Amino acid sequence: MNMLIRGPEDEILKKEQAFRIIRSTINEKGREALYDLTGLAGGFPIKKEDKRLLETYIGPAIYEEKLKRLAVEHLGGEEVIAFNRTTAGILATIIALTKPGGKIIHYLPESPSHPSVPESAKVRGAEYLEFDNIKEFYTPPGTKLIFITGATMDHKIIEIEEFKRIISLSKKARIPTVVDDASGARLRTIIYKQPKAIELGADLAITSTDKLMNGPRGGILAGKARLVKRIKSVAYKFGLEAQPPLIAAMVRALEEFEPTRLIKAIKLRDEVYEKLKRSFKGFQKTPTGVMIRPEEIKKEIEKRNVKTRLSPQETSYLWAMLLLQEHGIITIPAAGMPGASPTLRLDLSAPDAQRLKPDQITRILEETFQKLLDTIIEPEKAKKILGG
Ligand SMILES: *Cc1c(COP(=O)(O)O)cnc(C)c1O
């Protein structure tokens, strides 16, 4: 049970506190004092000549066509639509392809799902079932849509055999499949050399242009023209589709996307991981970085004979806040949206990671962990750090 962060509202307060620290760091020391290691870039690489074309009707006329060409190259499929966020694309897909009372089945390499899938199912009044064990996976009668997550929020990657198995089951049952490939569209294909989701037989795939590429926060959905058309009509009805400035930035981000940057991160990751092993048992490698789960943080704390009433999740939030406060390192447990993963993950493919040396990263984690031990025995102090 959490005692300090009791729900989404407290998570918002925590995020706002993180934003206050980011603001004051920028004002006092400048952008160079911050290191965004979330792996979410928020890049907006439009060019000067794009700016005068960003109008309501001229913009889409120019950029939607370019986007289609680039997105089909990136994801495969026949037709595409860009969304304000991946979450918006998932909501539109669920509204378009299911009805109240229908069933949505989700397979992912490890639960929990990104909140966008179960929350959209709830809004739709659809039943939602989640599996992370292929042996248990089945499609009950009344299943209208199957989701597959290619890479989880913690960057756990689906096994290719599992992927193929679900596609074959869905084809037999004639149920459309959507792949939530928010980060997977790059992690799976570039690091793990898996085929694109659509090449593997998925009907639809959605990715986030913010993840592991220098694009804006937004989602691109691609796939069968017949399904994309239905999703588009829902998107326009509810205002979920991306607007011209966002589409132009997505186009530029896809144009300049460079897979080798992800490959290069692997070396830095391995160095950091080896050094971290000297002080911590609980860190794990991710495809492009390192992470420690809340339960592992708890073990590290217990090993040092420190007792706390804070939950493992809260110790992760707190460590993330200390990293931000003391060293300007931005991670998702500090700055993420409500429902984001509480795992403390450092993405070393992030542009800011290039300014940090492996020794420096290790030292910062050791120092802030000592501070964490001092803080968790004083819940009042911890509360102040989390909420200001
Ligand atoms: C990030 C992510 C999303 C949501 O993306 P947003 O653009 O933030 O809405 C959905 N699913 C997975 C697996 C993700 O990692």
> Averaged over 300-323, what is the pLDDT?
96
Q: What is the pLDDT of residues 169-186, one digit of tens each?
A: 999 999 999 999 999 999
Ligand 1 pocket at CB < 6 A: 85-87, 114, 116, 149, 152-153, 180, 182-183, 208, 210, 217, 219
The rounded Å distance from CA 205 to ligand 1 centre is 12
Q: Which helix (H) or strand (E) holds 108?
A: none
281 pLDDT more than 90? yes
Q: Which helix (H) or strand (E) holds 48?
A: helix 48-51
Nearest CA to ligand 1 atom 15: 153
- Rounded CA-CA distance 210/343 in Å is 19
pLDDT confidence band for 388 (50 / 70 / 90): confident
- Rounded CA-CA distance 203/178 in Å is 6
What is this structure's pTM?
Answer: 0.88
> Averaged over 151-157, what is the pLDDT?
94
41 pLDDT more than 90? no
Among the listed residues 295, 321, 294, 365, the one whose alpha carbon sits nearest the alpha carbon of residue 10: 321
283-286 and 289-292 beta bridge pairing: antiparallel
pLDDT confidence band for 333 (50 / 70 / 90): very high
> Averaged over 264-288, what is the pLDDT?
95
- Rounded CA-CA distance 235/223 in Å is 15
Among the listed residues 242, 269, 232, 239, the one whose alpha carbon sits nearest the alpha carbon of residue 356: 269
Q: Which of 153, 206, 240 to mutate to test the pocket of ligand 1 (most atoms within 8 A of CB)?
A: 153
- Find all residues with CB under 8 Å of 386, minimum gap 6, and list them: 4, 5, 10, 13, 14, 17, 314, 317, 318, 321
> Averaged over 72-96, what is the pLDDT?
98
> Averaged over 76-101, what is the pLDDT?
98
Burial 333-353 (b: 16+ CB within 10 A, else e): bbbbeebbbbbbbbbbbbebb
230 pLDDT more than 90? yes
Q: Which atom of ligand 1 is nearest to the CA of 151?
A: 13
pLDDT given for residue 39 in this prediction? 87
pLDDT confidence band for 42 (50 / 70 / 90): confident
From 52-66, 159-173, 348-362, the region with the lowest mean pLDDT = 52-66
Q: How far is CA 206 from CA 56, 181, 203, 363, 364, in A?
A: 24, 6, 11, 38, 36
- Rounded CA-CA distance 187/194 in Å is 9
Q: What percent of the chain has pLDDT over 70?
A: 100
298 pLDDT more than 80? yes
Q: Which atom of ligand 1 is nearest to the CA of 90?
A: 10
